[in-house]
Amino acid sequence: MTLALSGHPVVRGIAVGQAHIIRRNELDIGEYRIKAGQADREIQRLMTALESARDYLDGLASRIRESAGGAAEEIIHTHIAMLSDDSLSESASMHIRDELCNAEWALQLYLEDLLSQLNRINDPYIRSRGEDAIQVVQMVQEILGEQQPLEPLAGVPDRLGKTLVIATELTPGELAALHERGVAGVVTEHGSPHSHTAILARNLGVPTVMGAHRAQTLVQEGEALVLDGHYGIVFASPEESIHKHYLRKQAESHRFIQSLESVREQPSRSLDEVDISLMANAERTEDMTLAMKSGALGIGLFRTEFMFLKGRPPDEDTQYRQLLAALDATDHAPMVVRTLDLGADKGADLLDFQSLRSNPNPALGLRAVRLCLRELEVFKTQLRAILRASAHGPISCLIPMLTSASEVITVRKLLAEAQEELQLRGQAFNAEMPLGGMIEVPAAALALDSLAQELDFLSIGTNDLIQYALATDRVDEQVAHLYDPQHPGVVNLLLQIFSATRTLSKPVSVCGELAGDRRFTRLLLGLGLTEFSMSPRNLLQVKQVICETDVSLARTSLQQWVSGAALEAEVSLVHYLDQGQSRHPSRAN
């Protein structure tokens, strides 16, 4: 019998295949293989974790001595002795070397051996040592878990073609790892369609449904699944008729994609001859190549945080080389490189900054430029890498989440220092590299004059702007229904931003998800936007709408809507804008 589960539609598209259920501990610890050449590094990881555990317990013992002392302190000393016992480190290292497994798993093997030895001894006191051993091993495993493993999702099968993964929730890093393994579709029990994981899923084109509650309990491992990313539905063990229906829909969507080919070679120009620049949001070489194939004029948003997905912060040379590779992949097209936007839902699986961990309200805390201005070494390393890359192509630098002009002034000072450092080293850079700022904090948007004076260009991050304007956490699925780009407050805010930018005469683009969603193309055109940056997968769809839009009619309809003249229309703003286009003479029949 067919079971239908519903969740949030995140990435349109249909996926058909078999379920693979990822349990949380499969993501967290689990067993995974390492290469022979990685054994020494893995043993080092183990040793460092053992040392951290000992340090922690030493500190705890002295604190307890002052307050309680006695039995509690004795237990802690027993644990310290276990951690210092050579048999633990030697046995776990042997497992790493012989079985080429990760440190967490090697500890598990050590623990299992030890417990079976202890269980053979007929002495309750000695057997009770088993509990101490479990606690000690778990503590070291937790410390290891907080470090970056060699490979995220190490326990998941290598090839996931024809597989739909069912997870509780996924971080961007985990999703990227699943995509590398060719996953056909993704279902999560939790997660919001506006989160960074969702954005990444759209960029990667992985059909995804989020917030399908209890999916892990209701679906069996290996069960046949059909995922409809448009409506946010997942069918388990679908009946023949459903299966056939979706095969037909897959063919239809294929035809739609083919129909877009007709606009590929057309200029991106509206019916009333307004030229619109289309840029791409891209971070991986594949996105860059796709962006160029789709006719993007360049990269309007390079989210650099995804360079940091695999563990420690990459050093300056590594970042520089990655930027050069990106320039090569785009044939040296214009590229807007955004500085690190860590924090909120991008952070947990990335860099381990103390300041990120103790953040009670991450979206409003030390995020993006705020964090960079705290972690100056990481930030300056990145600025030097971007500057060096700017000597090789038309690179601009973009600062995320600005709130006030003083932040830009500090960034400019750091940029000047970075330039001096490069000069001393004799390394080339573009001293005129444009510096732009993202407008995603409502107060910054409402005080655009002072901020814009310090900047060369502006980029509106609608994803965050909407979350902050509506006080609706973009990561919280429970308020996802309140995240409404057509809310009159949001529309008014956008109108204000565009009217301010007209007088400021600074280039302005939109790089949030709104720019790549064809439903909102006419709204953005009506606001006066002439530069869009979006996932390259959406570029042709948006271009098709642009080619079928009269911008001046879109503007008139938007004004009517805002002035209340359209109230009797009783349709949503975007529908009103669509209906407004039928008044164009070329459409009258």
Nearest distance from C-beta of residue 396 to Mg ion, angstroms:
17
Q: Taking CB within 5 to 8 Å according to partner kind, which of Mg ion, ligand PEP, none is near residue 303?
A: ligand PEP
Among 152, 185, 300, 461, binds Mg ion (CB under 5 A): 461
393 binds Mg ion (CB under 5 A): no
Nearest distance from C-beta of residue 462 to ligand PEP, angstroms:
5
Nearer to Mg ion, 80 or 438 (CB): 438
b/e map of 230-252 (b: 16 or more CB within 10 Å)?
A: eebbbbbbbeeebbebbeeeeee
CA separation for the pair 142, 104 (Å, rounded) = 9
Nearer to Mg ion, 144 or 368 (CB): 368
Nearest distance from C-beta of residue 511 to ligand PEP, angstroms:
5
Nearest distance from C-beta of residue 556 to ligand PEP, angstroms:
27
Nearer to ligand PEP, 219 or 301 (CB): 301
Nearer to ligand PEP, 367 or 543 (CB): 367
Decide if 278 contacts 558 (C-beta within 8 A).
Answer: no
Decide if 408 contacts 308 (C-beta within 8 A).
Answer: no
Which residues, other chains included, contact 193 with Cβ-Cβ below 8 Å and sequence gap of 6+? 8, 9, 10, 210, 480, 483
Q: Can you read off the two tokens belonging to residue 34?
A: 């390492």
Q: Taking CB within 5 to 8 Å according to partner kind, which of Mg ion, ligand PEP, none is near residue 580?
A: none
Nearer to ligand PEP, 301 or 399 (CB): 301
CA angle 383, 460, 566 (to 5 degrees): 180
Instruction: Tell me whether residue 547 is one of the annotated catalytic residues.
Output: no
464 binds Mg ion (CB under 5 A): yes
How is 91-128 classified by DSSP, letter by letter?
A: HHHHHHHHH-B-HHHHHHHHHHHHHHHHHTS--HHHHH
Q: Taking CB within 5 to 8 Å according to partner kind, which of ligand PEP, Mg ion, none is near residue 30?
A: none
Nearer to ligand PEP, 471 or 567 (CB): 471
CA separation for the pair 465, 442 (Å, rounded) = 6
Is the Cα dihedral 367, 373, 378, 380 positive or negative?
positive
For residue 406, what is the DSSP state?
H
CA separation for the pair 413, 435 (Å, rounded) = 12
Nearer to ligand PEP, 484 or 548 (CB): 484
Nearer to ligand PEP, 156 or 511 (CB): 511
Q: Which residues bind ligand PEP (CB under 6 A)?
A: 199, 301, 303, 341, 440, 461-464, 511-512
Instruction: Tell me whether residue 397 is one of the annotated catalytic residues.
Output: no
Nearest distance from C-beta of residue 196 to ligand PEP, angstroms:
6
Nearest distance from C-beta of residue 327 to Mg ion, angstroms:
24
442 binds Mg ion (CB under 5 A): no
How is 510-545 classified by DSSP, letter by letter?
A: E-SGGGG-GGGHHHHHHHT--EEEE-GGGHHHHHHH
Give me the count of residues in the chain.
589
Q: Can you read off the two tokens belonging to residue 134?
A: 């479990």
Q: Taking CB within 5 to 8 Å according to partner kind, which of ligand PEP, Mg ion, none is near residue 190?
A: none
Q: Choose one: 135-143, 297-305, 351-359, 461-469; the region binding Mg ion (CB under 5 A).
A: 461-469
Nearest distance from C-beta of residue 305 to ligand PEP, angstroms:
8
The CA-atom distances, in angstroms, between 548 and each of 338, 525, 569, 586 are: 32, 12, 22, 10
Neighbour count for residue 189 (Cβ, 10 Å): 20
Residues 56-115 that bind Mg ion (CB under 5 A): none
Nearest distance from C-beta of residue 260 to ligand PEP, angstroms:
24
Q: Taking CB within 5 to 8 Å according to partner kind, which of ligand PEP, Mg ion, none is near residue 511?
A: ligand PEP
Please tell me which residue in 79, 190, 196, 397 is annotated as part of the active site. Answer: 196
Q: Taking CB within 5 to 8 Å according to partner kind, which of ligand PEP, Mg ion, none is near residue 578?
A: none
Neighbour count for residue 162 (Cβ, 10 Å): 13
Q: Can you read off the two tokens belonging to residue 477?
A: 């699925």
Decide if 461 contacts 512 (C-beta within 8 A).
Answer: yes
Q: Taking CB within 5 to 8 Å according to partner kind, which of Mg ion, ligand PEP, none is near residue 512?
A: ligand PEP
Q: Taking CB within 5 to 8 Å according to partner kind, which of ligand PEP, Mg ion, none is near residue 396?
A: none
300 binds Mg ion (CB under 5 A): no
- So which residues are the catalytic ones? 196, 511
Tell me which residues touch Mg ion (CB under 5 A).
440, 461, 464
